[in-house]
């Protein structure tokens, strides 16, 4: 009787488990990308090249994840197939990383973390609407605007007011990188690919693609002279950026949809600004603090939390199992209170 009453009481309850988990994974990805952006800038400043960082990234990630691909079937690329595997590798593998990291070394630092994530956010939103038919509410559009406005504030009004004067041909590298990742976001959603499979296949194929160039062109004497830098970059590029960030982002795409997940890269400059305090010694201005607040509010709006969608309702079987599990506990508590 008590079990049935408990099940009835929770019948109308809903828990946004999928939405909340998707947001958490998206935030993990954004923080990981911000960390690797700071690490990449530090690596370039210390004398490493974009090829060095790209090679370290994918060789480390490829070696770590290759057992998964071979266990699931190399000839079928863990079920992805060669066509999909090669397309995803082109969109999120060496071309994307080389464009982004090389651009970091030849432009002002703020350009990359702002231009690329903004293009990803707008590109993913537009592509998801056009190609996937995802509905974009006014609230989500308002949230997207707030995120982008927050980014403008974070990098500083002085930079944005003078942006047109400081643009160079190299900034197009960040635009191209943004469109590549936006396309990757859309295809993940469209093809419904398992996050670990996509990450492992891209890492392995990217290792095969970049390793010959790395072996032929890298200055190994210079790399051997800075073992601490290489170990740091191996962890940041190969683990944090290539594995943790990508798996977390892929999970966000599968749980939130391409348009919503595409907003999380827009928080990279926000987190990069915060990380710049302890690691780069750069404190944010008041305008940047306001930008962090605006971007956070925008993320809440754009994620769809206030739209009332994406809620996971417990089924009748779920309620019965909960009632059966908690019923005895409730009876024991009730019995103890009566005895007292």
| Alpha-carbon dihedral sign for residues 49, 55, 58, 64 | negative
pLDDT for the residue 318: 41
Closest CA to 259 of 164, 159, 136: 136
Q: Into how many domains does the chain fold?
A: 1
Nearest-angstrom CA–CA distance, 266 and 25: 14
Whether pTM exceeds 0.85: no
Residue 4 within a domain: no
Whether the predicted pLDDT of 223 surpasses 80: yes
Whether the predicted pLDDT of 167 surpasses 60: no
Residue 333 within a domain: no
pLDDT for the residue 189: 82
Taking each helix axis from N to C end, the angle separating 268-280 and 17-45, rounded to the nearest 10 degrees, works out to 50
Closest CA to 203 of 245, 168, 242: 242
pLDDT for the residue 2: 35
Residue 331 within a domain: no
Nearest-angstrom CA–CA distance, 153 and 159: 9
Q: Is there a contact between 143 and 263 (Cβ–Cβ < 8 Å)?
A: yes
pLDDT for the residue 159: 52
Tokens standing for residue 170 = 């190299």
Residue 274 within a domain: yes
Residue 336 within a domain: no
Q: Binning pLDDT at 50, 70 and 90, where does residue 57 land?
A: very high
List, in order, residues 6 or more apart from 40 with CB less than 8 Å away. Answer: 53, 101, 104, 236, 237
Tens digits of residue pLDDT in 97-106: 999 999 988 8
Domain hosting residue 117, numbered range: 14-325
Q: Is there a contact between 261 and 27 (Cβ–Cβ < 8 Å)?
A: no
Q: Is there a contact between 132 and 189 (Cβ–Cβ < 8 Å)?
A: yes
**Percentage of the chain exceeding pLDDT 90:** 34
Instruction: Check residues 122 and 13 and name the one with the higher pLDDT.
Output: 122
pLDDT for the residue 308: 53
Residue 6 within a domain: no
């Amino acid at each position: 009787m008590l079990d049935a009453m408990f099940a009835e009481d929770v019948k109308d309850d809903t828990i946004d488990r999928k939405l909340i988990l998707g947001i958490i994974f998206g935030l993990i990805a954004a923080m990981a990308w911000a960390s690797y952006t700071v690490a990449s800038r530090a690596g370039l400043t210390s004398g490493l090249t974009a090829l060095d960082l790209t090679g370290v990234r994918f060789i480390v990630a490829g070696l770590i994840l290759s057992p998964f691909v071979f266990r699931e079937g190399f000839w079928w690329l863990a079920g992805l197939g060669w066509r999909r595997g090669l397309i995803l590798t082109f969109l999120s593998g060496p071309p994307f990383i080389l464009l982004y990291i090389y651009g970091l070394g030849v432009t002002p630092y703020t350009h990359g973390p702002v231009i690329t994530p903004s293009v990803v956010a707008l590109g993913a939103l537009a592509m998801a609407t056009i190609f996937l038919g995802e509905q974009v509410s006014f609230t989500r559009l308002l949230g997207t605007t707030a995120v982008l406005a927050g980014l403008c504030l974070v990098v500083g009004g002085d930079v944005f007011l003078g942006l047109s004067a400081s643009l160079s041909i190299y900034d197009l590298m960040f635009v191209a990188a943004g469109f590549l990742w936006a396309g990757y976001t859309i295809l993940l959603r469209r093809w419904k690919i398992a996050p670990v499979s996509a990450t492992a296949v891209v890492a392995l194929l990217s290792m095969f693609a970049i390793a010959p160039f790395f072996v032929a062109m890298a200055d190994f004497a210079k790399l051997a002279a800075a073992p601490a830098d290489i170990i740091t970059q191996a962890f940041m590029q190969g683990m944090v950026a290539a594995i943790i960030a990508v798996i977390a982002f892929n999970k966000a795409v599968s749980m939130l949809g391409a348009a919503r997940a595409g907003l999380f890269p827009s928080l990279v400059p926000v987190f990069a600004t915060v990380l710049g305090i302890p690691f780069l010694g750069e404190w944010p201005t008041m305008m940047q603090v306001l930008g962090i607040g605006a971007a956070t509010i925008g993320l809440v709006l754009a994620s769809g939390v206030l739209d009332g969608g994406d809620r996971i309702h417990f089924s009748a079987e779920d309620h019965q199992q909960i009632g059966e599990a908690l019923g005895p506990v409730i009876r024991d508590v009730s019995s103890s209170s009566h005895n007292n």
